[in-house]
Structure formats: structure tokens, C-alpha cells
Amino acid sequence: MNAESKTVLITGGDGYLGSSLAASYLESTDASLILWLRAGGAEEFENKKSALQRRFAGHASRLSYAAGDLLDDEPFRALDPRGIGGIIHAAAVTRFNVDETTARAVNLEGACKLFRFATGCPSLEAFGLLSTVYASGLAPGAIAEAPLDDGHGFSNFYEWSKWASEAALLKHFGDLPWRIFRVATIIADDERGTVRQQNAFHNTLKLLYYGLLSVMPGLPETPLYLLSGEFVSRAIFALMRRPSNRVIYHVCHKREEALPLRDLVDIAFEVFSQSEDFRLRRILKPLYADLGSFELLADGVEKFSGAVVSQAVASVAPFARQLFIDKDLKNTNLTAALGRYPDPELRRLAAETCRRLVESRWKPHGHDAR
């Protein structure tokens, strides 16, 4: 898309990927941006806006802000559709333990409100829907960059809602200049292992470090598709600016480049062992458990453990079923569009991420405007 001359609207403009993509546009184009933020009232909007203004100081003349909530009836009513050349939908509830009602209302129905708004943007050249490789749910084997069905079910309502938003886009708004980005798991901002946003991945490592996860759900050989946020933002930024529409991209590496679960656990223990604090606790690597045994343990933890542990386990448990599924994610469209991407170096990324997590004891890095 020739975004240089038109305005790009980014929903979830203060979220992890929304704000990273805003930074890419500000640094590498002359485009104006509208950052659309979730805010319950004027004070929350002002606070979010101020944080972004600090982060993007120097670009004030190209930035404007709008507030809303995907739960509102018409969340984009205040926006002028004329002049919008690109839209990136990065707003979503991203917790794996989100309940069905919220997932449906925000991630499916909220996305449809934006699709509808987009149909009224006369100059729209590109609409990017941020999705996840787990929109493929529990499907094993080869997963192409093509529409998905829901035949294998899902691990959680987050996955289901991301699948459902893709399906709604393709079925009811197929004429939009859409592109779908199915992103794999971001574990760090960059190859130095800086972590601004934590998720189930980091919570699992935390449980392992403190010896609170003696059994690991999953099969040791399950491939993990791990990425840095930098890789993802660069890829989506480049793909948004290509002329071709109606393409699905898997923003991830190939299966042979992915890291087996066993290797991640080995790398984590190797890094953890460099800390005396960890060595003194003589913590053993977890045993691999079947899903039933893990669910029993998670259930016990919820009933009998303190808030910190049960919250961490609650964020891991809704994802556990994926650790038994061997997905062979294809990234043909991604590689054809980007050419050769940098070598994944996933072992180093995983090791550096573990090292930074231990150093910070899981305190997120510089959590200002996310």
C-alpha cells in the first residue's frame, strides 16, 4: 500500500503489536496515523495518549488519537472514513483464559464492527487483520496459508474467536482489500531477549524456575514456533505495503526451524543453572505428562495454592493441549513476499529471553506505553 500519502488507522494502538507497528510507520514512512485506543472514559484516554505522546515524541504532527471500545455499538462513529488508506486491526482480548462471552463480543463482533466501518472507507487500499497461527485450533499436520475450518476444535475461546473473526471477514466482507497475518508466539522484543510483554510462555518459564511445575504438559518433540516482536512488526509492516490483497500469511518460521519443546526446556534449565539461587534449590527438569495428569495438577493448584501460582498456572493451562499437537505451519506466502528472512537463531532467542527473565525476576521491561 502506498501509505505515504494516506492515513493509516491502527486499532489497539497502545497494545504490544499496534504500538510497534505505529513505530515502524513513523520511522519509515511519512504517513499520518490514527491510533485508536480502548478507553473507558476521558481520564483513561488522556493517560494512554500521554504515554504514547512520550514514546513517539518528535512525530506529534503525524499522529492523532481516538478512543472507543469494541463493545460499543458503533465504536468508530467519530472517525472520518475519507482519507483512510490503510487499517490494521490489532485490538483484541489476547488472554488464553478469556471467557466465551468476552471473546465473542470483542474479538469476533468487535472485529466485524471494524470490517463494516472499513467498507465505508472510499480510499482504503489495505486492511490487515492480526490473527494467530492458533486460529488453526487443534488441527495437526500441514497448515496452509489458506482459509481454515473449525473441524478439530480449539484449546480455548481466544483461539476460537480469532478463527471466527477470520471466517467472518472471508465470508461477509470478502470484497475488502484484506490480508490476514497469522502470527506465532512472540517471546521477546528482539534478539537480545528484552521482554516488554509477558504471556503463557513466560509464565511457564517462571513456574519452572521456581520449581512449581514438576510435570510439563506436552510431548517433548512438539515444535514451538517462537519469534521476536521485531521480526513480526517488520514482516507485517512490509506485507501491508505490498500491492497484493486477499492473501493469508503465516508470520512464523518453518517446521524444521521451530524449536522442539524438549530443547526449550533444556535451554531454560541451562540458563537457569547459571543462577546460584536456582542451583541451591536443586530443581529437577519436569517430567512430561499427559493432558489428564496435568489438568489434575492444575486443578489442585487452583484450589490449594496462593494467588501468584494459581494465576500463573491458570494462564498456562488453557494452552496445554497445544503442546501435544504437531503442527507443520507453511509459510510459502511469507517467504515469497519477503524473500529470505534472517536466520531464525531460535536457540539464541530462547536463551537470551530466559537470561533476561531471570535477571529481572520476570518483571516486564520498561512498561510505559507498552
Ligand X SMILES: NC(=O)c1ccc[n+]([C@@H]2O[C@H](COP(=O)([O-])OP(=O)(O)OC[C@H]3O[C@@H](n4cnc5c(N)ncnc54)[C@H](OP(=O)(O)O)[C@@H]3O)[C@@H](O)[C@H]2O)c1
Q: Is 70 in the site for ligand X (CB under 6 A)?
A: yes
Which cell is 124 given? 482504503
Q: Which is closer to ligand X, CB of 250 or CB of 288? A: 250
Q: Are strands 223-224 and 259-260 parallel, antiparallel or unpaired?
A: antiparallel
Instruction: With CB under 6 A as the rule, give the number of residues binding ligand X.
Output: 24
Q: Is 183 in the site for ligand X (CB under 6 A)?
A: yes
* DSSP character at residue 133: G
Q: Is 38 in the site for ligand X (CB under 6 A)?
A: yes
One residue of 1, 10, 17, 226 binding ligand X per CB under 6 A? 17
Q: Is 132 in the site for ligand X (CB under 6 A)?
A: yes
Q: Which stretch binds ligand X (CB under 6 A): 15-23, 56-64, 138-146, 277-285?
A: 15-23
Q: Is 92 in the site for ligand X (CB under 6 A)?
A: yes
Among 124, 126, 108, CA closest to 166: 108
How far is 139 from 180, CA to CA, in rounded Å?
Answer: 19
Q: Is 186 in the site for ligand X (CB under 6 A)?
A: yes
Q: Is 205 in the site for ligand X (CB under 6 A)?
A: no
The number of beta carbons lying within 10 Å of the beta carbon of residue 151 is: 8
**CA 6 vs CA 35, 63, 190, 263: distances in Å:** 14, 12, 29, 46
Q: Which stretch binds ligand X (CB under 6 A): 89-97, 258-266, 274-282, 299-307?
A: 89-97
Strand order in the sheet with 126-132: 63-68, 32-38, 7-11, 84-89, 126-132, 178-183, 247-251
Q: Are strands 63-68 and 84-89 parallel, antiparallel or unpaired?
A: unpaired
CB of 278 to ligand X, least distance (A): 26
One residue of 7, 94, 155, 203 binding ligand X per CB under 6 A? 94
Q: Which is closer to ligand X, CB of 90 or CB of 298? A: 90
Q: Are 195 and 202 in contact (CB under 8 A)?
A: yes
Q: Which stretch binds ligand X (CB under 6 A): 92-100, 115-123, 242-250, 360-368?
A: 92-100
Which residues of the shown chain bind ligand X in the complex (CB under 6 A)?
12, 14-18, 38, 69-71, 90-94, 106, 110, 130, 132, 162, 183, 185-186, 197
